Amino acid sequence: MSDANLPEVATGPFVYDYKAAPNRQITMPKSVPLPGFRAYVAEQEALVIAEEAKWQKQLADFEVAKAKAEAEGKDVPKAPVKAAVKKNDTDMVFPAPTEAKDADLLRLVEMLGEKVEEVFEQAGELTCQVGKDHILEALQLCRKDSQLKFEMLADQTGTHYPAATGFAFSVVYHLTSISRKKRLRLRILVPEGFEPESATQVYPSANWMEREIWDMLGIRFANHPDMVRILCPEDWEGHALRKDYPVVGWGQRDIDFREDRGGMLNRIAMEKAGQLGINLKRPKAE
């Protein structure tokens, strides 16, 4: 390789236009898939009303079409048939949320009263949504109450709901009672910037899980002993599991080896050499 073929030393930092890259395009979710009994019932009712309205509209359309055809002397169109309920030929049955009947949930409602926002059961799992300011109280109750005795916080995580109004995240706590062989999910809805109380005060196992939530979703927890990122480096920008974060990242650690390899590495070498006072530059060919 002659000197003429050597790559030019790149000037200035290499900037990758991440917005142009096709795999960095983000599609933001439109809906808020937050399960809940009340929402489900409302949705079902709305669905029935919509179906009814659609049927009424079909009937009305038919009447209009019929009148029009009779007036013009053409063949009368067929009368609309109400669509039969689609037969489920698969082994799938959607586990719809049901009203809370479990003793644990009732106990929680009894003890916490107004602070409980919603309780329901779905797919055999118990969910209790409490007010975002009262989570510590709820956790303490679950841990200490002689009828609940949820000894272990098995899992804690969150979900980002950018399309929601009034809140931005849900944080869920999966509690396990080893002695009673039961599970319970506690849920809070928190807006952007809100710092819920840390569960580490009740369950020490929440330590790393809350750090992960901070790292991945950007929810800070108040009174946490060690609120730093856990999986990503300290200086990482953004929170990866938010819905507005592209799958391949924002290009923090990108090196495009096809286009910039020589320039990039060359530039780093030059910088290092400059710091050490060494002249690495090749003499220019005359």
Partner 1 sequence: MFKNEEMEINLGPQHPSTHGVLRVKLRLDGETIKHCRPMIGYLHRGVEKICENKTYFQGQVWTDRMDYCSAIANNLGWAEANEKLFGITVPRRAQYIRTMLNEFNRLASHLVWLATHALDIGAMTVFLYTFREREDILDINEAFCGSRLTTTALRIGGLREDLPPGFEKLVHKFLAKFPDCLEEYENLLSENRIWKKRTVGVAKLNAEDAIALGVTGPMLRAAGVPYDIRKAFPYAAYAEMDFEIPTRTEADTYARYLVRLAEMRQSARIIQQCMDGMPEGPVMAKIPKILKAEVNEVYHATEAPKGEIGYYLVGEKGSPNPYRFHVRAPGFINLQSLPKMVEGSLLADIVAAIGTLDIVLGEIDR
Taking the least distance from each CB to partner 1, the nearer of 115 and 242 is 242
Residue list 9-28, contact with partner 1 (CB under 8 A): none
Query: Whose CA is closest to 236, among 219, 225, 221, 249?
Result: 249
**Closest separation in Å from C-beta 19 to partner 1:** 18
Q: What DSSP character marks residue 150?
A: -
User: 16, exposed or middle or buried, with CB in 10 Å at 0-12, 13-18, 19+?
Assistant: middle
Q: Total residues contacting partner 1 (rule CB under 8 A)?
A: 52
List Cβ neighbours of 4 (8 Å cut-off, separation of 6 or more). Answer: 285
> In this chain, which of 76, 106, 123, 268 binds partner 1, going by CB under 8 A?
123
Residue 220 binding partner 1, by CB under 8 A: no
Q: CA distances (Å), 10 to each of 16, 18, 225, 269, in order?
A: 14, 20, 45, 11
Residue 2 binding partner 1, by CB under 8 A: no
> In this chain, which of 117, 151, 195, 260 binds partner 1, going by CB under 8 A?
151
Taking the least distance from each CB to partner 1, the nearer of 134 and 239 is 239
- Range in contact with partner 1 (rule: CB under 8 A) among 1-9, 66-74, 118-126, 261-269: 118-126
Residue 184 burial (CB count, 10 A): 22
Q: How far apart are CA 168 and CA 218, in angstroms?
A: 11
Q: What DSSP character marks residue 203?
A: -
List Cβ neighbours of 159 (8 Å cut-off, separation of 6 or more). Answer: 169, 170, 172, 217
Residue 35 binding partner 1, by CB under 8 A: yes
Taking the least distance from each CB to partner 1, the nearer of 97 and 196 is 97
**Closest separation in Å from C-beta 64 to partner 1:** 32
Residue 140 binding partner 1, by CB under 8 A: no
Residue 245 binding partner 1, by CB under 8 A: yes
Residue list 46-105, contact with partner 1 (CB under 8 A): 89-97
Q: Which residues pair with 158 in a beta bridge?
A: 171
List Cβ neighbours of 144 (8 Å cut-off, separation of 6 or more). Answer: none
List Cβ neighbours of 97 (8 Å cut-off, separation of 6 or more). Answer: 35, 36, 37, 40, 120, 121, 122
**Closest separation in Å from C-beta 274 to partner 1:** 29
Which residues here bind partner 1, judged by CB under 8 A?
A: 29, 31, 33-35, 39-40, 89-97, 122-125, 127, 151-155, 157, 159, 172, 174, 176, 178, 181, 183, 185, 203-205, 207-209, 212, 216, 229-233, 240-241, 245, 247
